[in-house]
Structure 1
Amino acid sequence: MGAALTNVPSALWRLAIVVGIPVGLAQSEYDQMGVPGWGSLWLVVLSLVSELFAFLAFGLVQGWGEVWPRWIPYLRGRPVPVLPVTVLAGLGTVATTVYGVAFVYTTFHAEMAASAWGTWLLNIAYAPLLLWGPLLGAVTVHYYRRRR
């Protein structure tokens, strides 16, 4: 469950920007993101896609990750193949680990025009992403061991 929840704080931070809640960034940062404007759409899409991928981690510990749900035509009731799920989850583990580390590295080495509390809020919102990869890796290994 932890792997699925690590994205929530950063998604809420992005959505706060979209609806106009101040998060301590300078106007130049908002301009660079294209907010308000098309950048707002990008922030919403990024939040939704990251939450969708995070939600898929539940499939590694829930029954619908072992047997296809009834609402999926042609596959309903059949076992979910272990190898493709494990490979995709493993690739997701690598991708999310690299993303988390790269984001933290970039944040600490970037010159951002943000207030002290804005930088603090950004770090608090994105820090859980460092756990996404390792937690996803743990449930992936557990899924593979349980299903083989």
Structure 2
Amino acid sequence: MTTHARDTAVPAAEMTVGAPTGRKPAEPVPRWAVRVAHAIPLCVLPSGLWRVALVLGLAGYDTDYEWAAWERPYVIGLSVVSEGLALLALGLVRPWGEVVPRWVPGLHGRRIPIRAVVTPAALGATLLMLLWAYAFLNQIFGFVEPNNESGEGGPTSGPAAWALWAAYAPLLAWGPLLAILTVAYYRRRRAADASALISR
């Protein structure tokens, strides 16, 4: 290895998960936060797969249901959008959640304001916790009665019911995990800004 190569090599101790290329952040991303960010899409994935199985007639119930023309695309689209929103949690631990990516014209390289990330993430976490808490409590206590021809909103017993609960139960973790990740992002960015001010 030449002298030039040794001078430009980045020590292993300075390599940080989620660090923008060519820059060492004042506050590294904790490993646990990276794991949480990757866990969120995995919590959403089972329900999306269950909806796909429902569209394909593999969910184990309502095989004779007559789908309207718009319903199948809507159900598939709901799965895709949900997984896409879940993947946005990775921005709380990756460089593109702190600095505008290079491919964005006119803004690339600029630091993203903390509030621009924390506000939608916090609102999303709150709405998710309220939504899924209500959805599961409604299944248990029946606040709102199902309204369809069969009188059932979903399977209530047997393997199909167990598959439904197993697929949707992980969604209860989406909101709390996102809230924890948002707080960690906020604290890390504030600490980084404070360190930058001190070093000036």
Structure with max Cα Rg: 2
Check if 1:143 corresponds to 2:185: yes
Number of residues paired by the alignment? 143
> How far has the Cα of 1:20 moved from its partner?
2.7
Deviations 1:96-131 (A, max 9, x none): 111211221222336545241111110000000000
Describe how 1:50-89 pairs up with structure 2 within 5 A: 50-89=82-121
Q: Are 2:62 and 1:26 aligned?
A: yes
Q: How far apart in 1 are the matches of 2:55 and 2:62?
A: 15
| Counterpart Cα distance in 1 of 2:183 and 2:138 | 29
Q: 1:113 to 1:91 in 2, by over 3 A?
A: closer
TM-score normalised according to structure 1 size: 0.88
Identity level (%): 43
Q: Which amino acid in 2 is paired with 1:147?
A: R
- Following superposition, the deviation at residue 4 of structure 1 comes to 2.5
Which of 175, 178, 181 is the aligned partner of 1:133?
Answer: 175
| CA distance in 1 between partners of 2:176 and 2:154 (Å) | 31
1:98 to 107, 124, 130: 130
Aligned letter for 2:61? L
- RMSD, aligned CA: 1.8
The residue identity in structure 1 corresponding to 2:120 is L
Change (3 A) 1:74 1:107: same
Superposition pairs for residues 39-54 of structure 1, below 5 Å?
A: 39-54=71-86
Give the match's secondary structure for 2:103: coil
One-letter amino acid matched to 1:53: L
Asked if 1 retains the 8 angstrom alpha-carbon contact of 2:40 and 2:86, the reply is yes
The answer (yes or no) to whether the contact 1:93–1:137 under 8 Å persists in 2 is yes
Q: Which has the higher contact order (CA 8 A, sep 6+)?
A: 1
Higher share of residues assigned helix: 1
Question: So what's the TM-score if we normalise by structure 2?
Answer: 0.66
Q: Does 1:15 align with 2:47?
A: no
Task: Rate the CA distance shift 1:113–1:95 in 2: closer, same or farther, 3 A.
Answer: closer
* Residue matched to 2:159: 117
Gaps of 5+ in 1: none
AA at the equivalent of 2:134: A
Task: Please tell me whether the aligned partners of residues 154 and 161 of structure 2 are also in contact (alpha carbons under 8 angstroms).
Answer: no
Contact 1:93 1:136 in 2 (8 A): yes
